[in-house]
A and B are shown apart, each in its own frame.
Chain A
Amino acid sequence: MSGAHDEHGHHHREPESVLSLRVRALESLLIEKKLVSSEAVDRIVGAYEQDIGPHNGAKVVARAWVDPAYRQRLLADGTAAIEELGFGGVDLQVVENTPGVHNLVVCTLCSCYPHALIGLPPVWYKSFEYRSRAVREPRVVLREFGVDLPESVEIRIWDSSAELRYLVLPQRPPGTERLSEAALAELVTRDAMIGVVLVQPRAAAAR
């Protein structure tokens, strides 16, 4: 159980020490039953902490910005197009921002996200606040992220409910014509690939 109830039925959170002990006990039992090894868990944790992250998706976006033919392939078949760059593990649908269309990705039912490409979702993406509100009042939510789009821009919300995951191809910011593909990738943030912010000409924060 993740929680406990007192005699009045009120929920109270378990201390971190108990949660940590329960997880250690679970891992110990599964190792004893030869269903897992500590090394395998270590490697998965390490993969998400070091190898898999927004920097991978940023490479895909930058390539699409500099190579129109790649952009076409990416929009037509995201799964195959990211394999060209050595990425995989996800069935991918890429949706493109344009001057008239802004895309926003959410999973109202759980936390579906293209994590094999851009890493594990941030806490806010999994929050009740985002999941409940992004589909009903996307413009209000976007303003909370500092993005205020005119009503002439259509906001397309993608409620990710299947094993096909969504990645936003943001608009290339103006004034970046002379940047290299690698420098462009530096500008692309996680939040821009979810669709809650726009890519800025200079990376404001390492999100």
Chain B
Amino acid sequence: MNGIHDMGGMHGFGRVEREANEPVFHAAWEGRVLGLTRACSVQHIFNIDESRHAIERMAPIDYLASSYYERWLDRNVRLLVEKGVITREELERRMAQLASGPDPAPSHSDAKLLDRMLGVTKERPHYRQPGPPPRFATGDRVLTRNDAPVGHTRLPRYARGKHGVIDRVHGSYIFPDTNAHGQGEQPHALYSVRFDAAELWGGSAEPCAPVHIDLWERYLEPAAPARSTS
């Protein structure tokens, strides 16, 4: 989708500001949001691609006005409601209860869940899955599709309809465009594609600053070899 999240190349944002001695979390609730997100993931309530797309579906004005973990919280509530795990009314009621009294939830312990949640930081991820052999090889010239899908995609707007060269063949990975929409994992070839800066930014490109983007084969078409300039 042509969302506000798709920020590569946008003008209007200022200097990159760094925070000295930045804490891992700026408030305790941020860490809780991260932990709850990890639980939802290992409980298979939503996958990574549904999760990203839910953030992309925020109203642009909310996206821009929210902090990172506010967007995560919005995403978690949105998906838990859509998946039928909770209702917004239930959440409002629980907020009111907690504001005026003790937590009514009985404590719960689950050692296996804990192992699975910690395992995510140690085990090999499962996103790489067997798929059809790659159509392109390193050095092949490709043209990215010029498309404006309404759903989730990982082909950024600034790289649509652009010529690039296959820099590396990564192997077969789960396809976000289908996995975000309940259409299956459909793993297939993922490539690192190299784009000259001038191809992306025209005359305002900085010298010697090629951009590499990881792109799935379904984003790509074969392109004729570049004409020699010699």
Contact = CB atoms under 8 A, between A and B. Distances in A.
Nearest to A116: B121
Interface residues of A, number: 90
Residue with the greatest number of chain B CB neighbours at <10 A, chosen from A44, A130, A160: A44
A127 B17 contact: yes
Contact of A23 (B33, B85, B105, B207): B33
Interface string B173-216: 11010000000000000101000000011001111111111111
B125 A91 contact: yes
Interface string A65-81: 00000000000000100
B227 interface: no
A89 B211 contact: no
Residue with the greatest number of chain B CB neighbours at <10 A, chosen from A34, A108, A205: A108
A41 B208 contact: no
A103 to B, nearest CB: 9
A52 B31 CA distance: 14
B82 interface: no
Given A26-B76, A41-B35, A129-B17, A163 B40 contact: no
Contacts of B31: 41, 44-45, 48-49
Nearest to B20: A205
A16 interface: yes
A170 B33 CA distance: 33
B113 interface: yes
B224 interface: no
A21 B121 contact: no
Contacts of B71: 2
A22 interface: yes
A2 B66 contact: yes
B135 interface: no
B124 A122 contact: no
B104 A28 contact: yes
Contacts of B9: 108, 132, 135-136
A152 B207 CA distance: 9
A183 interface: no
Contact of B110 (A14, A16, A32, A34): A34
A110 B113 contact: no
Contacts of B168: 93
Given A144-B16, A155-B209, A162-B154, A25 B95 contact: yes
Given A21-B98, A141-B16, A35 B45 contact: yes
Contact of A35 (B39, B64, B204): B39
Given A161-B156, A164-B173, 10 more contacts: A3-B62, A13-B65, A22-B73, A25-B97, A129-B16, A136-B200, A161-B213, A162-B170, A163-B127, A163-B128
What 7 pairs across the A-B complex have the smallest Cβ distances? A41-B35, A108-B8, A163-B127, A45-B31, A36-B39, A25-B94, A2-B74
Interface of A: 1-3, 11-14, 16, 19-45, 47-49, 52-53, 79, 83, 88-91, 93, 108-111, 116, 119-120, 122-124, 126-133, 135-141, 144-145, 151-164, 205-206
